[in-house]
Chain A
Amino acid sequence: MSGAAQNDPGKASGGKRGGIGPVGPDRLLVIVPAYNEEGAIAQVVESVHTHVPGAPVLVIDDCSEDSTIDVARRAGAEVLSLPHHLGLGGCVQAGYKLAYELGFDYVIRVDGDGQHDARDIPRILDRLKTSGCEMVIGSRFDGENGSRTGVVRTLGIRFFRCVLRPILGKPVHDPTSGFVGVNRRALDLFSRSFPLEYPEIEALVVLQRKRFRFEEVPCRMRPRTTGRSSITAMKSLYYIVHVLLGVFVNVLRFEGRRRAQPAEKKEDRWTTS
């Protein structure tokens, strides 16, 4: 932890005393959903402070049973503490809601387990600002970094690539990545409508429904150092069925919108990157 952070955690978080607020030209907030991540959260927060100085860090604690909140605060993060366990989607959406209310223009989500490399945050932010698209995904497969994942997860990712390709109208290399940046338009959307369980894939279809655009940038992924993934081998089948259902429902809603607005049919296509 930097000396500045040790002296004034509020300042280290990029916020003012009495809470965070949009600061600097970027008006960027880094959110970190966390559940029982006391072993990794300090390193995650400190890493963000190091590589994105001045950006506030908001840890959203999903009612952890360990000391995640205390560790995060000591590391210089602001903490949004949920009163009971909501799951990943509800946890992330709470962060989006607060960020939208506080007036942030950009929000980048970094997982609390330390797998995402904070050095890639500026790249995601830069793409968000220059491309004008609503969401940028940090992809472990886009580019030459080629991070390794387990066999089951790799098969799942390939399966969902095939499912999403015709729906989105463009390929997505890493649909399950949680390393995601959004601008204020997507923030507005997600603070009102966000999938509650396993949100990454469904969020892409929610974006598509609104004709928002996304892009991918290559990012590094590190192996998890502490804790376990919420998606175990036993849960994989449930994950696939659940996400497929969510995608299907969102596509039905999308089709309903298209039928209701035939005059705008031509604008339903994605602008590819």
Chain B
Amino acid sequence: MDHLLNVTTGLSVLLLAIVLVSVRRAHIRPEYSVTWLIAAAAMLVLSRVRPLLELLRRLSGLPDTPLTLFLMGAGVFLIMVFRFSVILSHLRDDNIALAQRVAILEYHLRTQREL
């Protein structure tokens, strides 16, 4: 159990570091890094504050603590994937509308030049 919590702590710290470095290098926009930072911080807290993990286990009615930790982590990342799917869908719609508008404006520009 301790080993599992230590591994989770290590992974959480690694994730925090990767996200912060990515934000600094402008690979991730700050508004999209917040979700990752919250997820990593949540996993870090759960792996270090054992009473909190025990409390969540009792509340969820799960049989053991490692399973609770695993399901919490999976749940957090599923929510994140869903959130990013929503963001991607909006971006794709915007991208298509913009591409169509660019094409139409270029068409008008070209036809104006021909006059």
Contact = CB atoms under 8 A, between A and B. Distances in A.
A18 B104 contact: no
Contact of A97 (B104, B110, B114, B115): B104
Interface in B90-104: 96, 99-100, 102-104
A180 B67 CA distance: 56
Given A97-B104, A98-B107, A101-B104, A90 B115 contact: no
Interface in A1-29: 17-19
Contacts of A86: 96, 99-100
B104 to A, nearest CB: 5
Nearest to B112: A18
Given A81-B103, A94-B104, A98-B107, A17 B96 contact: no
Interface string A231-260: 000000000000000000000000000000
B60 interface: no
Contacts of A81: 103, 106-107
B112 A83 contact: no
Interface residues of B, number: 14
- Chief secondary structure at chain A's binding surface: mixed
Nearest to B114: A18
Contacts of B108: 19
Contacts of B99: 82-84, 86, 90, 94
Nearest to B100: A94
B96 A98 contact: no
A90 B104 CA distance: 13
Contacts of A101: 104
A80 B104 contact: yes
A80 B101 CA distance: 11
Contacts of B100: 82, 86, 90, 93-94, 97
A94 B114 contact: no
B107 A196 contact: no
A196 B96 CA distance: 9
A86 B102 CA distance: 13
Nearest to B103: A82
Interface in B50-109: 96, 99-100, 102-104, 106-108
Given A83-B102, A196-B96, 17 more contacts: A17-B115, A18-B111, A18-B114, A18-B115, A80-B103, A81-B106, A82-B99, A82-B103, A83-B99, A83-B103, A84-B99, A86-B96, A86-B100, A90-B96, A97-B104, A98-B104, A98-B107
Interface of A: 17-19, 78, 80-84, 86, 90, 93-94, 97-98, 101, 196
Interface of B: 96, 99-100, 102-104, 106-108, 110-112, 114-115
Give the top 10 A-B pairs by smallest Cβ distance, nearest first.
Answer: A19-B111, A18-B115, A94-B100, A18-B114, A18-B111, A90-B96, A82-B103, A83-B102, A98-B104, A83-B99
